[in-house]
Structure 1
Amino acid sequence: MKNFLSMPKNSKITAIAMGKFDGVHLAHHKLFEFLDSNGCVLLIDKDRTPCITPFKFREKLIPFRTYWVPFKEVYLWEGKDFIVFLCEKLPQLQKIIVGYDFRFGRDKNYGADDLKNLFKGEVVIVPEVKIDSIPLHSSIIRELIAFGDLALANRLLGRNYFLEGRVVSGQNLGSRELYPTINIKHRLFVLPANGVYAAFTHIKSKIFPSVCFVGNRLSTDRSFAIETHILDREIILDEKNIRIEFVAKIRDNRHFEKLSELKKQITRDIKVAKKILKY
């Protein structure tokens, strides 16, 4: 993603939507509706972890040219200075689109309404978006993911939540005594609550119905793991990174005295996952 501060002047861009856009959820898409082919998106955020959608993935989810301004570079600017800089970079800028809670400038002293006084063009302020009376905010989606309510989090996102990570070696117990799994490690994303989930696993361009486990392996070595089992398929894996797309939680993490009991439970989990995934 290109840094807006270092980009040259662009006389083709006439409209810009600004915000953090963590999650790129349905409320953000309301802002994008006011853009056309001459529009772009400006992310003003810290490159923090963990988050719903890390920076390198946000650009792929946003349907317009996307630039980034590191928050630390502009948080001390006065509101007027920020708008002057914006107009210098985009000399044909005619429209700015933001959410109702957009804040900018020194100590975030400036809000969406201040844009109307500082910018000579059109300012579109998108009101709060709700789904079933639930305010659509990234903070609420993060809480839902951390709580394990992926079904509701996905409704607010307008897509299934995903993790992407590096494939790592597991215990090799699955292929011997349970069900074979692919293990991944990540450092960027908000983690779903410990438990078992119906999911889809993306390997290259293929998508496979799966059961995914997140949490400490209470019945074996008690180590933390993110594991996915591909349903009814034997996969020869040569990929270094895969994506796991969470659909809904099946159950909480539990301890089993015997591996045979755990395998029976996983068999039941697979049946539930097939119903959820309509597989």
Structure 2
Amino acid sequence: MFEGFELSHAPLSAGTVRVRTGGSGPALLLLHGHPRTHTTWHRAAPLLAQHYTVVCPDLPGFGQSFVPADQPGHVGSSKRAKAAALTELMHQLGHSHWAVAGHDRGSYTALRMALDVPQHVTHLAVLDGVPIAEALARADARFAQEWWHWFFFAQPDKPERAILADPDAWYGHSPEKAAQMGQDNYQDYRAAIHDPAVIHGMVEDYRAGLVTDRSHDEADRAAGRQVQAPTLVLWAEQDDMGRLYGDVLAVWRLWVAGHLSGHSLPCGHHMAEEAPAELAAALHQFLETN
């Protein structure tokens, strides 16, 4: 897994981040989603490393990266705090400019990075996501039924107790899932979901979303602040972006001042595992033509 990549643990101001790097060329930061770790990129990252210096960290609160300390408003788990930590990581690795692609929960940190440090972000790619404030403003009965976990995870204590009672049952455990993910990726993910500290960190990511992240998004929207970098939006045909939002790009036009493009991919939600070649090709075409 990740042949030719280097695995390290980078000490940052807020804590230590596990990160894997490989390839050469312009820097590309890949941010995973819930409940995965950076190893979700194990099929796509080597394809991208043929053209780019690929950086794959575990998000703060996930995998083997530091779990932010609990704070009022869950500000340590806010996407602003995570974007700041990963900006520090990129500087520590010697990069002054980079493209960032984020999937699922990672897409919120990627968006926040593009908004907060636009002088460093050359391109933004969002995979299966819309801004948190947009998701909540557009929430209806269908959203509540399909994304109920957003609101359950916002409750104190109960989510951790429910998940840790049987993490394999909560997230799904089967030989078929292991084969689909790849054995090494699957074992890394399973180690994460059985760690009580990581479960708390991942749930805190959602709690921050409904409080601090939402307020950050709403402040940007009120101020007319938009992404200046070229932006690519990709969504899985077999997931619910299309059902929930119809024209996904129309949602993003409110947030992007620069070039905006996007399309669906023929796969389920975990596109880096299910359609790595198609994802890598779409990212490469976007980065080379914008």
Give yes or no for TM over 0.5: no
* TM band (smaller chain): 0.3 to 0.5
TM-score by length of 2: 0.31
Structure with max Cα Rg: 1
TM-score by length of 1: 0.32
Which structure is richer in relative contact order (CA contacts within 8 A, separation 6 or more)?
Answer: 2
